[in-house]
């Protein structure tokens, strides 16, 4: 193309004149003195940009409303951040735990879990996580729900003892002065005052509140306490819109304090300053003599299932941010702490459904070809007036509600239905031996073939319309029989229509869901019925996304295979 | 008398109004319900009367209760809640509450007390099964049978459903484990109070499936509440389970040769939840409406249009006659003592745990 351009056009002249003078051939220049190639590329690029700008609205529309949501949905099939987001400390602490030990994890893990769970319960996230983990192990849902109600009492035994030792431990102010960064306290006071002023003046107040910050150095001496109290203070601010300086901390904060002080030395406590030392040192000295309750006992006391190491192994196995668990579940495998294993036999269903979906879609496609081809042939060979009328008959069911058509099949096919009544009446079938034609595979295939038939007839018809009748006549005049003329001359020319119709019908039927749900019974349901169930009933969106992704992949692979075998160029909609 | 009590109740609502309704309220609200006769009963009993009291108020109905949990979750993720009040079954209310998608409320603050002054929390009693759930009705899933297809001895217990010899023919059951597993175990000789303990074990589940296996070939599985009434009307099935209100309209309104089998009916609840994240104005409007729509008279009024029992104890004596048929509604209520001699209360907590697991097993069993 560019070569051609150098030969012609106004720029060509200067180039030729240059070489005519026997000088060295430099780059071909355009009229404005730029190299021609560059100038052409510019022109082309401008054109491309203009074209892009023209389709941009549509492109953006499709990206935003179609591609992005689908991608987002499919991404859920591997996404598993809910565990590590809801239980950040536990997932880290659990990494070291050996799930084959047959015992509950140790106190460090349980303490981390207590802080996580109390925070999650305040944010109302614990039950959502329970639902998520219940997909993997039955019973975790209620374990989280019930324990979530009680976890803010965990550590009460320490709270009581600290308060008995120094009543000031009960005071929110004590905690504030011990924990809060003075700079934050000042900022927060200021923010509170601003907000009060805004409310007074009835103004909108949008400034976000400064979130609680722990005083420097505290985290070194009292790591867990700083962490637990910080969480408490921020949740009080954000979730409840309370001033943490006026709220007594949760009991688990005292648990953290107890655990920290048991590790602390007089020297480390001294680094926090004289005031803090005066408060902490007596407590530090006393904790060794505190009555203690093992954390495991607190949990087992709340719900005895916590003693089951499988619960913890499940949390551990699903701690990573991304999981293959949903995909494994979609092919009847399961992810266990010991690796991948097959689902128990009485729960395997998805492979069966995938196979059934593919098989039935193929059968439906085949019966659409068988029924649609003669109709399309007839339509394309009739005079226009008649064929238009018949075409309306083909399209008529197309304009009727899908549900109406499906229900009509129920009326026709059921045991007390029209067809059975007629068969019994003419004596073909005994009254007590009425045929079962609905709520099974047969019913689904019949109803779906009927519903999808127009998608086969229309592309076939439009392709057949373009086949000149003279070809068949020519074949016949050369001595071909009717069959040879049809099979060797007419049929090959209609193949693009069959291809288009088959792809349309197959892809539509593979994702069909309403008709199989209504007339499929137990043996005629498709994989899409399970996807719909997981989307709207069980709310296991990850599994639904994994099933959907697999279905999409299967369609793409089949499409690719079709392209290799038949060639996608051989598909025509007319 | 009835007019007087309506006036009194309205008056009470108006007197109570200024305190809590001082702030601005939106002049439109979107209510989500189930469509059909049930939604119509809500419109007749309280949505229309409420609209008459508040001129210019626009009420939009969305028939999405079936997928309310999924849709609310999606709305919440998108950060755009477009519903103001959602009608859901109790188990869904619990899930929404669990996920933080429904608002917790204080019954005595939000709901009107009974006319005799009993606080709402006592009037509704145990039916407030979740902190977010505002009960409206008690319904039940129970059986109806063709009177002309069962011979001279109509079925009297739920176990007759499993008796193919005495009652040959097809039956329709819901395409999910809930209720079916309980009935199967009960008819396999498990005492009612032990059903969930037995069902918790692998053997118990196998036992329930084995019992269902006996009739599996003869079962038409339904997934929409309208299926069983249709199958009964067509004579496709001899006996089938569905919601009692559907059977009522089949028997009384459509006059089909069908009768109720109340034995071992499974009670369930339906009510409102308020989604979290409403604006102050929308919330004020919804609270005002809920207070009105769940008062004693309104819940009793609803029973004029559909045979579901009002969730308030104080509404029961006010239940009158059907608005069009003029028949007494009390004997058609699932809670009527004559109907409720042997019942089962759906165990929400238990199913919340075992639903995923048992559903997978149930579907695999169905597909075998």
Q: In the block, which residue shows the tokens 């009916």?
A: B265
Domains of chain B in sequence order:
2-138+269-332 (3.40.190.10), 149-267+338-367 (3.40.190.10)
Look at A135-139, A458-462, B17-21, B158-162 and tell me which has the smallest mean pLDDT: B17-21
- Express each pLDDT in B60-91 by its tens digit: 999 999 889 999 998 998 889 999 999 999 99
In this prediction the ipTM stands at 0.85
Instruction: Spell out the alpha helix ranges (H) of chain B.
Output: 2-20, 36-42, 48-53, 68-78, 90-98, 107-110, 120-124, 180-187, 195-199, 202-213, 227-234, 244-248, 280-293, 296-302, 348-367
Interface membership of B75 toward A (CB under 8 Å): no
- Which residues of chain B are within 8 Å of residue A406 when distances are taken between CB atoms? none
Q: What is the mean pLDDT of residues B317-332?
A: 91
Tell whether the model's pLDDT for residue B4 goes beyond 80. Answer: no
Tell whether the model's pLDDT for residue A242 goes beyond 60. Answer: yes
Look at A203-207, B151-155, B279-283 and tell me which has the smallest mean pLDDT: A203-207
Instruction: Tell me if B355 and A530 make a contact (CB, 8 A cut-off).
Output: no
Task: Determine contact, residues A125/B100, Cβ cutoff 8 Å.
Answer: yes
Instruction: Tell me if A142 and B352 make a contact (CB, 8 A cut-off).
Output: yes
Cα-flanking dihedrals φ and ψ of residue A62, to 5°? -65, -40
Instruction: Tell me if B220 and A439 make a contact (CB, 8 A cut-off).
Output: yes
Instruction: Tell me if A130 and B98 make a contact (CB, 8 A cut-off).
Output: yes
Could you say which of B99, B170, B223 has the minimum Cβ distance to residue A128? B99
For residue B23, the tally of other CB atoms under 10 A from its CB is 10
Q: State how far residue B205 is from chain A, nearest Cα, in angstroms.
A: 11
Instruction: Tell me if A124 and B234 make a contact (CB, 8 A cut-off).
Output: no
- Chain centre to alpha carbon of residue A273: 52
Q: What is the mean pLDDT of residues A116-139?
A: 90
Structure confidence at residue A201 (pLDDT): 87
Residue B232 is encoded by which pair of tokens?
A: 């009964």
Could you say which of B234, B349, B357 has the minimum Cβ distance to residue A416? B234
- Chain centre to alpha carbon of residue A492: 43
**CA-to-CA distance for A1 and B62, rounded, in angstroms?**
60
Instruction: Tell me if B234 and A414 make a contact (CB, 8 A cut-off).
Output: yes
For residue B217, the tally of other CB atoms under 10 A from its CB is 9
If you ran DSSP here, which 8-state letter would residue A212 be given?
P
Instruction: Tell me if B235 and A138 make a contact (CB, 8 A cut-off).
Output: no
**Which of B99, B350, B364, B368 would best serve as a mutation to test chain A binding (most A beta carbons within 10 A)?**
B364
For residue B26, the tally of other CB atoms under 10 A from its CB is 18
Instruction: Tell me if A536 and B70 make a contact (CB, 8 A cut-off).
Output: yes
Residue B297 is encoded by which pair of tokens?
A: 């008279």
Angle between helices A251-263 and A274-287 (to 10 degrees): 90
Residue A52 is encoded by which pair of tokens?
A: 């892009």
**CA-to-CA distance for A102 and A98, rounded, in angstroms?**
8
**CA-to-CA distance for A500 and B25, rounded, in angstroms?**
56
Residue A119 CA: distances (Å) to CA of A124, A162, A294: 8, 22, 21
- Express each pLDDT in A245-266 by its tens digit: 888 999 999 999 999 999 999 9
What is the percent of chain A where pLDDT is above 90?
58
**CA-to-CA distance for B347 and A457, rounded, in angstroms?**
52
**CA-to-CA distance for A102 and A95, rounded, in angstroms?**
16
Domains of chain A in sequence order:
2-75 (no CATH), 84-152+295-323 (no CATH), 156-287 (no CATH), 350-570 (1.10.3720.10)
Q: What is the mean pLDDT of residues A118-130?
A: 90
**Which of A65, A414, A515 would best serve as a mutation to test chain B binding (most B beta carbons within 10 A)?**
A414
- What DSSP string describes A303-372? -GGGG-HHHHHHHHHT-SSB-SHHHHHHTTEEEETTEEEEPPGGG--HHHHHHHHHHHHHHHHHHHHHHH
- Which residues of chain B are within 8 Å of residue A128 when distances are taken between CB atoms? 98-100
Please provide the average confidence, as pLDDT, over all residues in chain B.
90
Task: Determine contact, residues A309/A99, Cβ cutoff 8 Å.
Answer: yes
For residue A315, the tally of other CB atoms under 10 A from its CB is 25
Task: Determine contact, residues B334/B309, Cβ cutoff 8 Å.
Answer: yes
Q: Which residue of B has its CA nearest to A415?
A: B236
Interface membership of B48 toward A (CB under 8 Å): no
Q: State how far residue B341 is from chain A, nearest Cα, in angstroms.
A: 31
Going by pLDDT thresholds of 50, 70 and 90, the confidence category of residue A573 is low
Task: Determine contact, residues B180/B216, Cβ cutoff 8 Å.
Answer: no
- Express each pLDDT in B164-205 by its tens digit: 999 999 999 999 999 999 999 999 999 999 999 999 999 999
Residue A187 CA: distances (Å) to CA of A17, A197, A234, A571: 79, 15, 14, 69
- pTM summary value: 0.85
- Which residues of chain B are within 8 Å of residue A518 when distances are taken between CB atoms? 224
Q: State how far residue A553 is from chain B, nearest Cα, in angstroms.
A: 24
Q: What is the mean pLDDT of residues A125-131?
A: 89
**CA-to-CA distance for A114 and A89, rounded, in angstroms?**
9
CA atoms within 13 A on the CB side of B22: 3
The secondary structure element, H or E, covering residue A132 is helix A126-134
Cα-flanking dihedrals φ and ψ of residue B326, to 5°? 70, 15
Q: In the block, which residue shows the tokens 């108020």?
A: B57
3-state SS of A155-178 is CHHHHHHHHHHCHHHHCHHHHHHH
Q: What is the mean pLDDT of residues A357-379?
A: 96
Q: Which residue of A has its CA nearest to B360?
A: A347
């Amino acid at each position: 193309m560019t070569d051609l351009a150098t030969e012609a056009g106004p720029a060509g002249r200067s180039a030729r004149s240059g070489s005519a003078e026997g000088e060295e051939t430099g780059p071909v220049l355009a009229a404005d003195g730029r190299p021609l190639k560059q100038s052409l590329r510019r022109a082309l690029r401008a054109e491309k940009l203009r074209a892009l700008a023209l389709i941009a609205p549509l492109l953006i529309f499709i990206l935003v409303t179609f591609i992005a949501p689908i991608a987002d949905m499919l991404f859920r099939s591997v996404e598993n951040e809910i565990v590590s987001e809801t239980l950040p400390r536990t997932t880290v602490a659990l990494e070291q735990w050996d799930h084959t030990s047959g015992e509950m994890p140790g106190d460090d893990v349980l303490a981390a879990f207590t802080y996580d769970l109390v925070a999650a319960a305040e944010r109302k996230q614990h039950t959502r996580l329970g639902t998520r983990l219940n997909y993997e192990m039955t019973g975790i849902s209620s374990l989280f729900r019930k324990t979530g109600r009680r976890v803010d009492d965990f550590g009460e035994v320490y709270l009581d003892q600290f308060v008995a030792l120094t009543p000031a431990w009960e005071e929110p102010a004590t905690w504030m002065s011990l924990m809060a960064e003075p700079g934050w306290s000042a900022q927060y006071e200021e923010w509170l005052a601003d907000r009060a002023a805004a409310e007074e003046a009835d103004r909108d107040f949008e400034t976000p509140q400064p979130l609680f910050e722990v005083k420097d150095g505290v985290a070194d001496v009292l790591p867990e306490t700083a962490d637990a109290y910080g969480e408490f203070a921020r949740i009080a601010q954000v979730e409840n819109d309370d001033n943490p300086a006026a709220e007594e901390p949760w009991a688990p904060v005292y648990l953290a304090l107890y655990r920290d002080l048991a590790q602390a030395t007089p020297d480390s406590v001294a680094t926090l300053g004289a005031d803090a030392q005066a408060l902490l040192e007596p407590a530090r000295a006393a904790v060794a003599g505190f009555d203690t309750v093992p954390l495991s006992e607190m949990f087992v006391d709340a719900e005895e299932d916590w003693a089951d190491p499988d619960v913890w192994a499940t949390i551990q196995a699903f701690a990573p941010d991304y999981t293959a668990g949903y995909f494994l579940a979609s092919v009847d495998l399961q992810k266990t702490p010991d690796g991948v294993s097959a689902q128990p036999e009485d729960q395997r269903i998805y492979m069966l459904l995938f196979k059934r979906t593919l098989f039935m879609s193929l059968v439906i496609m085949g019966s659409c070809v068988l029924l649609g081809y003669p109709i399309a042939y007839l339509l394309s060979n009739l005079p226009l007036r008649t064929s238009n009328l018949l075409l309306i008959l083909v399209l008529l069911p197309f304009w009727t509600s899908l549900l109406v058509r499906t229900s009509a099949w129920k009326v026709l096919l059921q045991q007390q239905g029209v067809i059975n009544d007629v068969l019994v009446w003419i004596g073909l079938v005994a009254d007590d031996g009425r045929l079962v034609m609905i709520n099974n595979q047969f019913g689904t295939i019949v109803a779906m073939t009927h519903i999808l038939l127009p998608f086969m007839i229309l592309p076939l018809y439009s392709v057949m319309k373009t086949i000149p009748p003279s070809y068949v006549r020519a074949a016949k005049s050369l001595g071909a029989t009717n069959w040879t003329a049809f099979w060797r001359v007419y049929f090959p020319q209609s193949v693009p229509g069959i291809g288009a119709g088959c792809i349309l019908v197959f892809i539509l039927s593979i994702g069909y869901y309403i008709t199989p749900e209504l007339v499929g019974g137990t043996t005629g349901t498709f994989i899409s019925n399970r996807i719909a169930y997981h989307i709207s009933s069980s709310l296991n969106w990850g599994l639904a996304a994994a099933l959907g992704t697999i279905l999409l992949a299967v369609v793409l692979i089949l499409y690719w295979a079709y392209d290799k075998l038949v060639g996608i160029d051989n598909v025509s909609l007319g | 008398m009835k007019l007087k009590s309506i006036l009194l109740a309205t008056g009470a609502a108006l007197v109570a109004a200024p305190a809590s309704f001082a702030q601005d309220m939106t002049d439109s609200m979107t209510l989500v319900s189930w469509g059909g006769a049930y939604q119509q009963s809500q419109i007749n009993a309280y949505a229309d009367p409420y609209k008459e009291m508040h001129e210019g108020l626009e009420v939009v109905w969305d028939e999405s209760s079936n997928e309310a949990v999924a849709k609310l979750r999606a709305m919440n993720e998108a950060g755009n809640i477009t519903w103001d009040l959602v009608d859901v079954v109790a188990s869904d209310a619990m899930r929404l509450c669990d996920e933080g998608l429904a608002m917790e409320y204080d019954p005595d603050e939000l709901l009107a007390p009974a006319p005799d002054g009993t606080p709402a929390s006592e009037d509704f009693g145990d039916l407030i099964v979740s902190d977010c759930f505002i009960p409206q009705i008690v319904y039940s899933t129970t059986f109806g049978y063709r009177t002309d297809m069962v011979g001279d001895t109509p079925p009297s217990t739920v176990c007759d459903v499993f008796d193919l010899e005495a009652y040959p023919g097809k039956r329709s059951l819901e395409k999910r484990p809930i209720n079916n597993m309980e009935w199967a175990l009960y008819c396999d000789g498990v005492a009612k109070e032990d059903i969930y303990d037995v069902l918790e074990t692998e053997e118990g589940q196998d036992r329930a499936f084995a019992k269902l296996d006996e009739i599996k070939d003869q079962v038409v599985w339904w997934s929409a509440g309208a299926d069983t009434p249709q199958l009964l009307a067509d004579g496709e099935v001899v006996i089938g389970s569905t919601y009692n209100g559907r059977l009522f309209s089949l028997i009384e309104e459509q006059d089909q040769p069908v009768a109720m089998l109340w034995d071992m009916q499974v009670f369930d609840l339906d009510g409102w939840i308020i989604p979290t994240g409403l604006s102050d104005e929308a919330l004020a409007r919804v609270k005002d409406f809920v207070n009105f729509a769940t008062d004693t008279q309104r819940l009793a009024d609803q029973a004029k249009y559909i045979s579901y029992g009002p969730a308030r104890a104080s509404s029961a004596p006010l239940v009158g006659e059907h608005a069009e048929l003029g028949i007494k509604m009390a004997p058609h209520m699932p809670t009527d003592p004559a109907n409720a001699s042997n019942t089962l209360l759906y165990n929400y907590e238990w199913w919340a745990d075992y639903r995923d697991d048992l559903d997978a097993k149930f579907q695999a069993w169905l597909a075998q």
